[in-house]
Amino acid sequence: MTANTAKGTGAGTGASGAAKATGAGRAAGAVGPAGPPDGAGAHVSLQNLSRFFGAVRALDGLNLEIEPGELVALLGPSGCGKTTALRILAGFESADRGSVLVDGRDMSAVPAARRDMGMVFQSYSLFPNMSALDNVAFGLRMRKKSADQRRSQATELLEMVGLADQARQYPHQLSGGQQQRVALARALAIEPSVLLLDEPLSALDAKVRVQLREQIRSLQQRLHTTTLFVTHDQEEALSMADRVGVMRDGRLEQVAAPSELYARPATAFVAEFVGTMNRIPGELEADGRVRVLGATLPIKGERPGEPSGLMDVLVRPEDLHLAAVQAGSGIVTIATFLGSLSRISVLLSGDITVQVDVPSAEAPAPGTPVEVTMGNTPVLVTTRH
Amino acid sequence: MAAVDTIAAGEPAAGPAQGRPRRGAGRRDGFTPWRWLILVLAGVYFLIPLYAALRFAGWGSFGSVIHQSGFTDALGLSVRLAVITTVITLALMLPTAVYVHLRLPRLRRLLEGITILPIVIPPVVLIVGLLQVAPGFLKGTSYLLALEYVVLAMPFAYRSIDAGLRSFDLKTLVEASNSLGAGWSSTLRRVVLPNLTTALLSATVLTVALVLGEYTMASLDLYQTFPVWIVVFDQTSGPISVAASLLALFVTWLFLLAITMLGGRQARRTGGGEVALFSVARRDTGRTS
């Protein structure tokens, strides 16, 4: 592995603080200090990447910086270009424009086999003709390590992912989750400068998915490997990443820490893609504020194109308030119990349904007439559907 | 055999290993008398001619077959042709099929169409065509006939290899291998070929069987291959020629059986498909496309 200088102290992401490091220590505690030494991840810079497939624009001037040791998730609907970006970084595709820099070095002319990037694929990618151990040792073999070294390093990696007992098993004898853990060990065995995860959890069932995502995150933090993670699952992205980049039509709409992304989405697309969002009709006033649900509120984020007129206002369920009023304009249709909170669907006049989160103790029963109000905070608006 | 999971995390062994139905389970229940009847009828249909041939030839003929003039030469020529044809066919078809699968998947249909042509076009046309274009130094050598056989074997060999390549996620495996630092030759040698052994064996079986049994082209081109020798010798001694045919049949059978068992053992170890004569059974992995 190349000797990098940065040791991740200046990862520049407020989110990856001490709290998460503790979490990593706890999750990896069973392994002990015998794991590979803390390397320093590489700095990745994607600059103005564009890629066309015929007339389809898969990437349209993508810019992204990944700090050493950081895990950045690219999140977006299918066809938004996130996988293309990852494959260009891996060296499996080439960009029509733009460049890929790793620690300041231009990678355009470097073939995939020499990029020193570990990758975990969406589909099961273990070599069927090799045991789990040989799969993990494959990259070491390509690096001309001795047989003893390969075996001991691969065994160590398998221990790290909790599969030491399965070392002699062939891929078809392993479950889907086990296969992906072996694939992760295999990718990490080469001590990659960058770890690439291409929807590695999407083929697994829900329970395994959650376990594996915690394991990936704790390993990544422990090894301090710069990681690009591509997913269409917002829960995965928000729970694992230091920063999440939301992509749409080959561009990044916003790159921010998960909490920031949720609380302060830069665009209506991000707002609606991340978390649950209500669309409530409102009217733009001449003074630049918007009138909605009887209140007049300031606007944040993107300004709508037109100076006035009918707009949709975007509000999260927790930012709406409910009051049971006999003469209320809405009526509760469904109350979904979520634990401490309940999500209430309210049918308003004009056939609009909004969702409101309330403490479960105060949840009104279906059929209750209610009044829906909102606080006085600035809201996002978007053109009406 | 569902994977045993003993790790601390306690992840349930879900996934492809468990979802797979156990081989043979519940199948034996349906083995009704009807099936026995069909089996017996088919067996009688195939075995009676063999038995009749055996009776006609008599045990004594088998011993004298190898002492007949021309036998060794004819058999030698056929074996040599089988080897040359198989080597050329695999050397041509394997890289082509791999390349098309990886880089030009849209041409797969076209290639399928092209490779089936030798079945559609009558052998005589192929021979005349080949004789027209074959360079002079090849004429009269066994390589010329081998080239004709390569054309004949193409549909079978291509189909076997194509089915083998489809039985696993070639693109992902190649990319995984590349990302781990393996160049093209390492990837082919350590990843692609080991997973194609079944398909390559299948292609070999078909090619060898075709060469050992081909009569038309060899006799039209005036080569005395083993099948041609049998026909010619038939005019001298019926029983011995029949004994030779039976011998050829059994040797080919043994050969096919050996290859099939070899492939089966490999497949059981890695969970791959087993050798079938016309295709390779799909590998049962949870691939997504």
Q: Is residue B62 situated within a structural domain?
A: yes
Contacts with B, A 120-179, CB within 8 Å: 121-129, 138-139, 142-143, 162-163, 165-166, 169-179
Tally the domains of chain B: 1
Chain B interface disruption, residue of A119, A124, A180, most B CBs within 10 A? A124
Q: Is residue B1 situated within a structural domain?
A: no
Q: ∠ CA B175-B173-B274 to the nearest 5 degrees?
A: 160
Q: What is the rounded distance in angstroms from the CA atom of residue A174 to the CA atom of residue A247?
A: 34
Q: Is residue B25 situated within a structural domain?
A: no
Q: What is the pLDDT of residue A99?
A: 93
Q: With an 8 Å Cβ cutoff, are A142 and B11 in contact?
A: no
Spell out the residues 6+ positions from residue B188 whose beta carbon is closer than 8 angstroms to its own: B98
Q: Which domain holds residue B270?
A: 56-281
Strands A369-374 and A352-359: unpaired
Q: What is the rounded distance in angstroms from the CA atom of residue A285 to the CA atom of residue A294?
A: 13
Kindly state the average pLDDT of the residues A302-310: 70
Point out which residues pair with A278 in neighbouring strands: A315
Q: Is residue B236 situated within a structural domain?
A: yes
Q: With an 8 Å Cβ cutoff, are B15 and A174 in contact?
A: yes
pLDDT digits (tens, 9 = 90+) for A104-118: 999 988 999 999 999
pLDDT digits (tens, 9 = 90+) for A232-285: 998 899 999 999 999 999 999 999 999 998 888 888 889 888 888 898 988 888
Q: What is the pLDDT of residue B269?
A: 62
Q: Does B194 touch chain A (CB under 8 A)?
A: yes
Q: What is the pLDDT of residue A32?
A: 36
Q: With an 8 Å Cβ cutoff, are A124 and B285 in contact?
A: yes
Tokens of B247: 């011998």
Q: What is the pLDDT of residue A124?
A: 86
pLDDT digits (tens, 9 = 90+) for A340-369: 999 999 999 888 899 999 999 989 999 999
Question: Mind telling me how many Å the CA of A87 is from chain B's nearest CA?
Answer: 10
Q: What is the pLDDT of residue A308?
A: 65
Tokens of A86: 């990852």
pLDDT digits (tens, 9 = 90+) for B214-246: 888 888 778 888 888 888 877 777 788 888 888
Q: Is residue B246 situated within a structural domain?
A: yes
Kindly state the average pLDDT of the residues A148-159: 92
Q: What is the pLDDT of residue B222?
A: 80
Q: What is the pLDDT of residue A62?
A: 92
Strands A309-315 and A97-102: unpaired
pTM score > 0.80 for this model?
Answer: no
CA distances in angstroms from A360 to A285, A341, A344, A369, listed in the order given: 36, 5, 10, 17
Residues of A in contact with B102 (CB under 8 A): none
Q: Is residue B27 situated within a structural domain?
A: no
Choice between A302 and A212, residue whose per-residue pLDDT is larger? A212
Tokens of A9: 């102290």
Q: Which residues of chain B have pLDDT under 50?
A: 1-27, 275-289
Q: Does B180 touch chain A (CB under 8 A)?
A: yes
Q: Is residue B134 situated within a structural domain?
A: yes
Q: With an 8 Å Cβ cutoff, are B180 and A118 in contact?
A: yes
Q: With an 8 Å Cβ cutoff, are A175 and B11 in contact?
A: yes
pLDDT band at A27 (very low <50, low <70, confident <90, very high): very low
Q: What is the pLDDT of residue A244?
A: 95
Which CATH number do you get for residue B125? 1.10.3720.10
